[in-house]
């Protein structure tokens, strides 16, 4: 009988990362894959990326709206509370043998709590990582403690999961799944991607994303304005800017960037690019600037420099092509000046996060999934 594996996705980035694995599960008769879609996928402010999932040919078994209309701390907690009952009903209906959850988002935490209470084994991707500037740090480690199997992206992160008390026999370094899309997805030509994004034919451009630093003392709007001023200080540089996640204060930042896009035509504001356009845009960009995890994990393998701003990704392993700067305008500007005027020949870095064959490693491990699990895990002491 086919093993029933449920995939949970709550954000555009997470879906793009999961896509190759979803295809592999769908095409393998040993598995019956179901899909639960929630979080910002159903938010118009964040691009309503459920449409992208449908356009890709998927038919979600459940779409669960968390009503992300208020991103204050109380508003986020209200959205989280709205997830428990429909998540539990979805799992009760599907009766999966396991649920696969990626990362560290608050909606992923709600799904993990629901699955844990309902005794649905959790397979967790990208555990063991640290991001000191975001509340996601605690969410990620919490999901780790509820998960049964762990697919880490590096040996350093695998060891950290074990340090958290998880047994080494259930923790595997498989690499970062996002690199599979870089290897597998077709990319648009430079002419095609410039036309698709409304860029001029020949001017230099960067790709930027700036999420709220949810544990920073300064307001998200102040930090974002400092970021904007740095990028705007290069008059001949165009900016492809993807809007931030559904985090605390994220809606105010979305409004900020949409207002900028109306008056400053060098800024091309995009709610969601999708994986093909995203990696195509990066391929021809001068740099990726901001604080997205993609700039740390996937971009170095494309040979494009990353300027990582602030503390949101603090603690991750950085490739040599990643330049760290603080969140102040002059520091960001200085780093961008250095990249734009560099004469160093661009080449892809040896990735710290794998080789683009993570899907195959995960599928091989899933073949070893035990027939009967003892979910009463014991704490592994070092």
Contact 156, 127 (CB under 8 A): no
Is domain 3-175+356-366 annotated with CATH 3.40.50.2000? yes
pLDDT along the chain (382 residues), means of 10: 95 94 97 97 92 96 94 93 98 98 95 98 96 85 98 97 97 97 94 97 95 78 95 96 85 93 95 93 97 94 94 90 95 96 71 93 94 88 92
User: What confidence score (pLDDT) does residue 111 get?
Assistant: 98
Task: Give the 3-state secondary structure of residue 272.
Answer: coil
Give the pairing type, strands 149-152 and 122-125: parallel
User: What confidence score (pLDDT) does residue 215 get?
Assistant: 67
User: What confidence score (pLDDT) does residue 64 get?
Assistant: 98
Architecture of domain 188-340: 3-Layer(aba) Sandwich (3.40)
pTM of the model: 0.92
Other C-beta atoms lying within 10 Å of the C-beta of residue 195: 12
CA 168, 166, 181, 179 dihedral sign is negative
In the chain, residues under CATH classification 3.40.50.2000 are 3-175+356-366, 188-340
CA 280, 286, 289, 294 dihedral sign is positive
Residue 81 in tokens? 């509370």
Which residues lie across from 7 on neighbouring strands?
35, 100
Give the closest residue to 28 by CA, choosing from 370, 271, 355, 359: 359
User: What confidence score (pLDDT) does residue 24 get?
Assistant: 98
User: What confidence score (pLDDT) does residue 349 get?
Assistant: 59
Give the pairing type, strands 98-102 and 3-9: parallel
The angle formed by the CA atoms of residues 123, 135 and 278, to the nearest 5 degrees, is 70
Counted residue by residue, the chain has a size of: 382
Task: Give the 3-state secondary structure of residue 45.
Answer: helix
């Amino acid at each position: 009988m086919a093993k029933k594996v449920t995939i949970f996705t709550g954000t555009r980035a997470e879906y793009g990362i999961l896509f190759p694995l979803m295809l592999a599960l769908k095409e393998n008769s040993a598995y019956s894959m179901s899909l639960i879609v929630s979080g910002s996928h159903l938010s118009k402010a964040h691009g309503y990326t459920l449409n992208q999932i449908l356009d890709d040919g998927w038919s979600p078994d459940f779409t669960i709206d968390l009503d992300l209309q208020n991103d204050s701390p109380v508003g986020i907690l209200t959205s989280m509370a709205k997830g428990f009952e429909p998540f539990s009903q979805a799992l009760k209906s599907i009766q999966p043998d396991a649920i696969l959850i990626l990362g560290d988002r608050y909606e992923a935490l709600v799904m993990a709590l629901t699955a844990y209470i309902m005794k649905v084994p959790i397979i967790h991707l990208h555990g063991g990582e640290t991001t000191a500037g975001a509340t996601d740090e605690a969410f990620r480690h919490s999901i780790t403690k509820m998960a049964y199997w762990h697919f880490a992206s590096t040996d350093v992160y695998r060891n950290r999961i074990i340090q958290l008390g998880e047994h080494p026999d259930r923790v595997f370094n498989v690499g970062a799944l996002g690199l599979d899309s870089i290897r597998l997805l077709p990319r648009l030509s430079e002419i095609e991607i410039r036309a698709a994004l409304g860029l001029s034919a020949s001017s230099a451009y960067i790709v930027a994303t700036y999420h709220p630093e949810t544990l920073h003392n300064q307001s998200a709007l102040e930090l974002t304005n400092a970021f904007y001023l740095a990028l705007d200080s290069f008059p001949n540089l165009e900016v492809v800017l993807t809007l931030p996640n559904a985090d605390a204060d994220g809606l105010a930042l979305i409004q900020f960037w949409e207002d900028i896009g109306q008056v400053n035509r060098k800024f091309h504001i995009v709610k969601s690019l999708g994986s093909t356009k995203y990696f195509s845009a990066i391929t021809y960009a001068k740099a990726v600037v901001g604080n997205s995890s993609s700039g740390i994990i996937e971009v170095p393998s494309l040979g494009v420099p990353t300027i990582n701003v602030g503390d949101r990704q603090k603690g991750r392993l950085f490739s040599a092509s990643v330049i760290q700067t603080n969140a102040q305008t002059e520091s960001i500007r200085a780093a961008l000046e250095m990249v734009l005027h560099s004469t160093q020949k661009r080449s892809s870095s040896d990735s710290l996060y794998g080789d683009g064959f993570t899907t195959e490693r995960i599928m091989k491990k899933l073949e070893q999934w035990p027939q009967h699990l003892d979910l009463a895990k014991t704490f592994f002491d070092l």
